Amino acid sequence: MRKSDCISTSRCAIIIQARMCSQRFPGKMLYNILDNMPLVRFVYERCRQSLVRKVLVATSEDKSDDVLYEYCINNKMPVIRGSLTDVLGRYIKAADFLNAEYLARIGGDTPFVDISLVVSFLNTLISEKLDYVSAKRETCASGFYSETVTLKALKRAARSTRDKEDLEHVTRFIINNKERFLTKFTNAELNPEFVRETRLTIDYPRDMETAGAIIDELRDRLSFTSKEVLDVVRKKGLRKCAESQVIK
């Protein structure tokens, strides 16, 4: 992976959104996905493959997340706590804490997040002086998905809305008000028809089995490409068993 201005600057950060009180899979952040490595640590280590200097877990101040916070502290993973329901505010708090201007938002339940896309989006965000960059949803399987945004844009959104949905879903206000922000949506070419029947996010306990089956087939269990993941999915014919994938 080519080291570029964005990933070498202290102005960039990857913020991993994580919580323990998932309704569909409570406590999933601390379930082992690889040997003795919990999901949250796996996603954190994946993000560190990008060479972005600042990678941080953003969890909530809810009592249910005490154990997650303690795990991060004990394992020297940078972590910050904020509101459980105002996730937009939590991201702003995290960015201010890191003194970062350009942010990549990663779901803690996405072990296969495409790190090269994260770097590409950050590069575009900076070089084209945009507020928000991501992939067109229909071109990127949810498990590979990430989005990038400036801290200034998040603060503008926070000043402009108190809608509960906007606060829970960090970039919702920006995406729904494109005329007020400079946005770009790229064609990621990471959603072939065969992968649409495979769950690449961890939404249910059985998704851990699917993820484990994929990881077992990869040559490098942390530094791998989306193409390698797609090759495994195609060869093994892995299928999902439940409803559509959603990042939360």
| Alpha-carbon gap, residue 167 to 170, rounded angstroms | 6
Both tokens assigned to 15 = 């913020």
Half-sphere exposure of 59 (CA within 13 A, CB side): 28
Neighbour count for residue 128 (Cβ, 10 Å): 10
Element (H, E) at 184: strand 183-186
Question: What b/e readout covers 168-184, taking b as 16+ CB neighbours within 10 angstroms?
Answer: ebbbbbbbeeeeebebe
CA separation for the pair 208, 197 (Å, rounded): 16
> Nearest Cα to 236, choosing from 198, 200, 207, 202?
198
Does residue 19 have a pLDDT over 90? yes
Q: What is the pLDDT of residue 39?
A: 98
The reported pLDDT for the residue numbered 84 is 98
* Domains contained in the chain, CATH given: 5-189 (3.90.550.10)
- Statement: residue 2 has pLDDT above 90: no
7: pLDDT strictly greater than 90: no
Average pLDDT over residues 187-193: 92
Pure H helices in 24-181: 39-48, 66-74, 87-98, 115-127, 151-160, 164-168, 172-176
In this structure, what token pair is assigned to residue 168? Answer: 């829970």
What does pTM read for this prediction? 0.92
